[in-house]
Every structure is written in C-alpha cells, then in structure tokens.
A and B are shown apart, each in its own frame.
Chain A
Amino acid sequence: MTSFWNEGDPIVDEAAPDGPIETRWDRRKFAAKLVNPANRRKLSVIVVGTGLAGGSAAATLAEAGYKVRSYCYQDSPRRAHSIAAQGGINAAKNYRNDGDSIYRLFYDTVKGGDFRARESNVYRLAQVSVNIIDQCVAQGVPFAREYGGLLDNRSFGGTQVSRTFYARGQTGQQLLLGAYQAMERQIGLGNIEMNARHEMLELIIVDGKARGIVVRDMITGEISTDLADAVVLASGGYGNVFFLSTNAKGCNVTATWRAHRKGALFANPCYTQIHPTCIPESGTHQSKLTLMSESLRNDGRVWVPRGQGDNRPASNIPEEERDYYLERIYPSFGNLVPRDIASRAAKNVCDEGRGVGPGGLGVYLDFADAISRLGRAAVEAKYGNLFEMYQRITGEDPYETPMRIYPAVHYTMGGLWVDYDLQSTIPGLFVVGEANFSDHGANRLGASALMQGLADGYFVLPHTLANYLASGPYEKISEDHAEVVAARQQVEERITKLLSINGDRTVDSFHRELGHIMWEYCGMERTEEGLTKAIDLIRALRDEFWTRVKVPGTGEQLNQNLEKAGRVADFLELGELMCIDALHRAESAGGHFRAESQTPDGEALRHDDEYSYVGAWEFGGTGQAPTLHKEQLDFEYVHPSTRSYK
C-alpha cells in the first residue's frame, strides 16, 4: 500500500517558543523584529482573499503602513463566504461567570480537535479571542445584547459554557462587514489597492521566496503578474471538492493548490468537517447545500422514529415511538455533542433505515418543546431568520412541522502547513484562516472558524509578517525575471489547453462526478478498500477531464466556465491527495472516521502511539506519489484522552 506515498523526513515547527504556554505568544512577539514606520510604506504585501482572515489582515497591515494589494474573485470584498457563517464567534470573556477562561477555551479546542492540533497555536487563539470581541465592538458590529446593554452569549456544540457572541443568525455577515468597512477605509485612503473579480492562478517564487502571483482579470481575461515583498493566502477551504457543500459556489482550492504544487506542504487534507444540520438534498438539480446554524441544537431536539421505514408524518408519530438518539446515547451533552459526533450519529440512524424525508436521508430537528416552553415569539426572536430560510427552501413551516436535516460538508480543517508564525514551507508565503491547517486539529468546534480567521488576520499575522519583512530587504524583481515569465506562461498554456480540448462533457458534470466519489468513499466513513478504489476512480476521471471537457468561449472575456474548469482541474488533484491522506491515517480522529478503527460501541478510536502527528504532504507530480513529512505533536498541558461526550 505504501506505493501510494513516500515517507519523507520529519518536519518541525521552529517558530514556536517553548517554556510556559501562557507567555509563548508574548515572548514570540517580543522576539519578532519590527519594521520602522517610515520603512513600511516601501514594503508591499499581496493578500489573496477578503474573508474574515484576508479582510482583517489587509486592513490591519494597511493601518500599520504597508502597501497592500488585495484580490478576490467576487465583485466586491464584502461577498467572501465568511459572510454566510451564522451562529457566532467564541471568546473566553467569561461574561457569564460560568467558569470559562482562556485555559478552558484552549482545553476545549484541543479536546474538540481530537488531540490533533498544536497546543501553542490553540493557546494563542484562546488568548487573542478576547481582543477580537473588543475590536469588533469598536467597529460597530451590532452583536446581540441584553436589556442592560451588555453583550449576550449562547452556548454551542462541544462546550459546557456560554462563550459564543452572536448577531442573530448572521454573525459572519456582521463580522465580515466590520472587516470590509475597515478595508474600504484603507482603500479610500489609498493604502490598499483592491482588485475584485481577479483570480490568482499561480504563485511566483524567486530564489526560494514567494514574491508574487499570476492573476487573471475575470472581466477582460487579461493575465498579469503582481510582485511584492510577501504573499498572504487567505483563500478559504476546499469543501467544494465534494461539489455539494455549504460553501459558496465560487469557493475553490486553486490558490493553495498552486502554492502546494510549487513546494508548500499541504497538511491533514483528509480532515473535513461534515456539519450535522443542513437542509437535505431535493433532487438532481441541486447545486449546493444550505446549512442551518448549529445554534438551533440549543433548543431543537433531534429525533427519528423508533421503527424502520416509518413514513407517517412527524405529527402522527407518538412520543413513545420517537428516538431522541443524541439525548439517549450522549446524556451529558445531548443535542449539543460536537459536529463530527452528531453527523455520524445521523448517518447511523439513516443507515438503519430510520431516516425521514425523501430517500430516508434526513432526521428531525424539532422545536415543539422549545415553542411550548419559551413561546413562539421567543423562538422567533432567536432563530426567526433561520426558520424563514428553511421555509423558503423547502416550502415547509418549521413552527408547525419539525425541520428535516442531514449532514453536509461544511469546513476543511486541513490546509497549507504553517509554522507558529503562519508561514508556509515557502519563505514569504503566509497562510491565514481556513486556508491553513493550524488550529482545529481533526475537528473544529462551532463558532471557532470566525475566531480563528479574525485572530490570524487582526492579531497574529501583522506581527509575524513584520518579522519576515524586517529580515529583508528583499531584492527588487522585474516583470521579465525568468521565474516571473515562466509562471505566467504556465498559466497561459493551461488556459489554452482547457479551451482547446472542446470535448463532449461539461465542467459541472466532472465536478459532480468527483463529488460523488469523494462523498461515497472519503465522506463521513472511510475504509481502506473504498479509498483505494476512490484513488483509481479519481485518476481515471482526471484523465477523462483532460480529454473530454468542453469549455465554451474564449479566454479574453468573462468566461465563467473557464474559471470553473481551472478550479475543477485542481480539485481533481486535491481529491486524490485527500484520499491518500485518509488511507494512510489508519485511525479515526475527529472528522476522519475509519471504519476499521472504532470501539465496540461504534465510537472513533484514535491511535496516539502511531498517529499523533500532523501529516504534511509534499507534492510529487500529478498522479505521482506524494511524500509524507510528519510533525510530531506533543501534549504538555492537555493530555490525550478518549473524547467522551456521554
């Protein structure tokens, strides 16, 4: 089986200080070199992506005085997919006086990540979480408040304290608008050059350092290069490899995958989060899945009928014939178990033939008890917009009949490998937010993605990037440098190739087929046999793509199919690496469940003696074996234990 990959040398995070964890970040900041304010305006930074991580990074770097050039594929930086995050953002403020602390948030996150995250990073995340709330409030983010005027909190999956700050069901929108507005202020001041509707298609490396990117103007099709002192990738996750996911349609892996092909290691690609509360598929036309915030599990109760194939309407099934399976199996966490556990439990009851709705692929999320306990008005105040969204999509009224939900791909914990400074294995290439792998281990807790994106962009990167820039100056590069010309030519040749195949299958048909393979064999449950099969299927599909895809139009115009074709071509390579990573990790951890590695009662079984490491992959060539570099994870503070939510 080792023919699928090669073993390489171990990799070490050399940027993280050792010593007491409470002071590591302070000591790292103090050791980091500074750039004189007068020199900052001479240094330029490219930021790819304008979500919470990229937007906050761009604004903060520009406020500090650097010349920032930002890129996004949407028509405005305000549209990045962070905007769709619903539930909230965690912070260890302990405003509820319920025993929360930085240490507890750290502990919950390491445990929630199934002991596959780096302690130093997670502790820092918990530390800066409190600054994020202060920053966002100062920007005017309209968080939910109590009658006394102070901030409200709610609880979220995987924790027993209330530390989640929220703005109804639109927290991501409000936080992103805060970052976007800070960015727009800097754009107005001339400190950020914003390039919307531009897509990064290649990374430029000169003398081993990241020095620029090749971009395509999505309106004119013009290919150009941008050269800078450092490059920051904030391009999000790769959940769209599954075709159907809760990601926006445009979300893609191209920026990080191009960097991977150029030498950046890709860590833990198999760690994908399947979110338990999404609206089930309705037919073959389905183009994406819609998430219903996990916060709904605070008041909704999850159940299926006790008997198989029971297709009576929910209201006709008496209480004693209902199985509130999360409350039954996990009495102490109940409906608030972490996402990976809730998702797999839903899959199990559906596999038993007890699922509800079309195809039996759904479970109920029932608010009847909450409505009778709190009243309809209180439920509406908390979840009104989510209920409306559900009704709009399904045509069913969740105040009257229980919601039907099913798991869907939502977030990817894996991403480009970065050290404590958020620098990839390519000097000068920094990676922030979902695009990196750093903080969530094998499973992310709810309301932690917004926290990580903003932590990276507002509070971590500005210090560590300054350290890198202060280590310069780096020589000026001209547009006709051989490496720059070569990167640009690679992009042009690839576009020419995609347009010239003129086959008989659409880009979407390939993407859907890839998605089916990934969902079937690299989804909620994975096996050696299935993954091996998936690798063969993906390789064959990729060959077929490059001989049969039909991309209409030309490169010199707005061409949405050409954009998609390039992204799907990269997904067809990433999918293979995900399967190889999942195959090599013969244990179950967080979002990665290997059927061969489970306890007698069906829970995930880790193998800490063999797999307590980050799997960082080096690109070996398309269809060639990648090389595995292991970063050993040491747990000095939170000792690995069996994650139990019973």
Chain B
Amino acid sequence: MDIQVRVWRQSGPDDKGRMVTYDVKDISPDASFLEMLDVLNEKLILDGDDPIAFDHDCREGICGMCGMMINGIAHGPERATTTCQLHMRHFKDGDVIDVEPWRAAPFPVIKDLVVNRGAFDKIIAAGGYITAPTGTAPEAHATPVPKPDADAAFEAATCIGCGACVAACPNGSSMLFTAAKVAHLGLMPQGQPERDTRVINMLETQDDLGFGGCTNMGECTSVCPKGIPLNLIGRLNSDYRKALRKR
C-alpha cells in the first residue's frame, strides 16, 4: 500500500518544529507502524536527509519506550495497543497519517518524536515502592494474599509507563499512571505500612513536576495500551483522603 505521513520534525528543544510530509510507497499491511517508519528512514538516509528520531525498544508492547500521536490519538487508532504493535493493515491505501510526539509540559520534546519522560521516574522515586531491602524478606508463604487481591494488583501493575495517558489528557494529568502504582502496592498486604505516605508523596511530587489535575475525562484509560481502568483514580483519591485525615 502507498500512504503519506505528515511527521512532526523538530531538530532540538529550541527549534520551533513543523509538520513535514513524506510519501511512503509499497508498504506491506503486515508491517508494524514502526517498521513503516524504518522503511521511510532508510530512504531518508540514502537521500541525504535527516532520519526521523523516535523512541522504541522491545517492539513487543511491553517496555513502554515507544509512543506517538497518530492522527491525534496516543498510540493510534487501535484500542489497547502500543505504537509498536500497531500494524499497517489497520490503514488503507492512500491514507494521510499525522504523526506527532507526546504533547505535555512535563514531557519536553528532545528531538522529532522523542520526549523526556523522566518525570515518571521521579513520581516512582517519591514512593512507588515497598521498602524491602535485599535479605530482609520473610518466607514467601508467610503472608497469603487473597487471589482476587493478587489479580487486581497484577492488573494495576501491568502499566508500562509509556505516558500515553498524559499525552491524551487535556489537562496533561498523570493520575492514571500514579493511580496504577498506588493500587498495585496498596492491594498487597506488603504495601500497607507505607500506604499513606506513598499516596501523599507521589501525588505531591506529580503536582510539583507540573502535571495537571484530573477532571475525570477518561481520555487516559481509552488510550492506555494495557487498559488500566479509570476507577483506579477513584481508589487513589479515596486513599489520599484517608491518608490526609490521618496526617
């Protein structure tokens, strides 16, 4: 199939940036979206042009490194799919596809489609862990965990930290990301001792980093490649209120 892509090109943080149109010919419908960009880049290099910079690594939907706005939707038109797992069979011959980086103040553009998501690591460092220094652990079966809790914790823990939720949110809020971690750890008995400090510290840190507030639009969950549910934000707010009351 032949398509056109209009790609955001920005040489560095100080460049204003612009959309540039490229023709991509003879792409297999079985190619992934990133493979389509690989093919385009090979041509750009041989033509003496600057290839398009984009983040990617595992290309199997789990590392969370890739991510771009495709026709205005984070990770593109397929639900619960990362950009690397989006295949060209979901597009038609002759399509014109817009490709842009995540747009959020705490995720500044480094180059083209590459942004800095270091703010997510700072939210985790503020409390997204259970303090269990190596060697201190009791026997694993000492604390049974009810299966429904373990399963729900797992669902929340599947977040890959890609940042699509922030990119999709009109407020640039990281609430779904933070809520997923707070739920994962808060659902496990091991996570109880730090439950209150965790939620307070993570929320205050995300505010300090410049993420916006949540107004329950739900755009985050609709683009989340792992389908992290919106109700975890309600759970987060409930945990936060309880923690504040105790403070």
Contacts and interface: CB of A to CB of B under 8 A. Distances in A.
Interface in A257-301: 282-283, 285-288, 290-291
A220 to B, nearest CB: 10
A395 B87 contact: yes
Contacts of A508: 38, 42
Interface of chain B, main secondary structure: loop
Could you say which of B60, B150, B190 has the most chain A C-beta atoms within 10 Å of its C-beta?
B60
Interface stretch (B69-77, B93-101, B140-148, B208-216): B140-148
B46 A506 contact: yes
Contacts of B61: 389, 392
Contacts, number: 220
Interface string B135-174: 1111111011111001101100110110000000000000
Could you say which of B46, B48, B62, B116 has the most chain A C-beta atoms within 10 Å of its C-beta?
B62
B232 to A, nearest CB: 14
Contact of A287 (B32, B87, B134): B32
A249 B158 contact: no
A156 B165 CA distance: 36
Contact of B60 (A144, A290, A506): A290
Given A151-B141, A392-B85, A249 B184 contact: no
B114 interface: yes
B144 A393 contact: no
B55 A75 contact: yes
A139 B28 contact: no
Given A76-B117, A287-B59, A550-B46, A145 B145 contact: yes
A553 B116 CA distance: 21
A9 B112 CA distance: 53
Nearest to B48: A552
Interface in B48-68: 48-51, 53, 55-65
B108 to A, nearest CB: 11
A558 interface: yes
Contacts of A140: 130, 132, 153, 184-185, 188, 190-191
A168 B154 contact: yes
Contacts of A79: 57-58, 63-65, 161
Contact of A134 (B56, B139, B146, B161): B139
Interface stretch (A34-42, A55-63, A467-475, A619-627): A55-63
A141 to B, nearest CB: 8
B217 interface: no
Contacts of A170: 62, 158
Contact of B126 (A59, A134, A188, A388): A188
B243 interface: no
B38 A285 contact: yes
Interface string A520-532: 0000000000000
Nearest to A77: B121
Contact of A248 (B48, B59, B145): B59
B129 interface: yes
Interface size on A, as a range, is: 35 or more
Contacts of A506: 42, 45-46
B130 A78 contact: no
B145 A60 contact: no
A138 B138 contact: yes
Interface in B1-35: 11-12, 27-28, 30-32, 34-35
A486 interface: no
Nearest to B43: A506
A434 interface: no
Given A174-B154, A458-B134, A249 B57 contact: yes
A282 B30 contact: yes
B89 interface: yes
Contacts of A184: 121, 124-125, 128-129
B49 to A, nearest CB: 8
A87 to B, nearest CB: 13
A601 interface: no
A632 interface: no
Interface in A392-412: 392-393, 395
Given A389-B60, A389-B61, A561 B154 contact: no
A83 B35 contact: no
A550 B121 contact: no
Interface string A378-398: 000000000011001101000
B121 A194 contact: yes
A315 B151 CA distance: 35
B240 interface: no
Contact of B121 (A78, A151, A282): A78
B105 interface: no
A387 to B, nearest CB: 13
Given A185-B129, A283-B28, A552-B45, A138 B35 contact: no
Given A60-B134, A134-B139, A142 B46 contact: no
A59 B133 CA distance: 8
Contacts of B42: 506, 508-509
Contacts of A30: none
Interface stretch (A16-24, A175-183, A223-231, A420-428): A175-183
| Shortest beta-carbon contacts, A-B, top 7 | A149-B144, A188-B125, A181-B129, A138-B137, A138-B132, A142-B154, A282-B30
Given A76-B118, A140-B188, A149-B150, 5 more contacts: A137-B190, A173-B160, A187-B121, A194-B121, A389-B60
26 contacts: A63-B133, A75-B65, A78-B161, A84-B63, A134-B139, A135-B132, A137-B137, A140-B185, A142-B154, A144-B154, A150-B144, A167-B154, A170-B62, A173-B62, A182-B132, A182-B134, A185-B125, A187-B121, A187-B125, A194-B121, A219-B110, A249-B58, A287-B59, A392-B78, A459-B134, A462-B134
Interface of B: 11-12, 27-28, 30-32, 34-36, 38-39, 42, 45-46, 48-51, 53, 55-65, 78, 80-81, 85, 87, 89, 110-111, 114, 116-118, 120-121, 124-126, 128-141, 143-147, 150-151, 153-154, 157-158, 160-161, 184-185, 188, 190-191
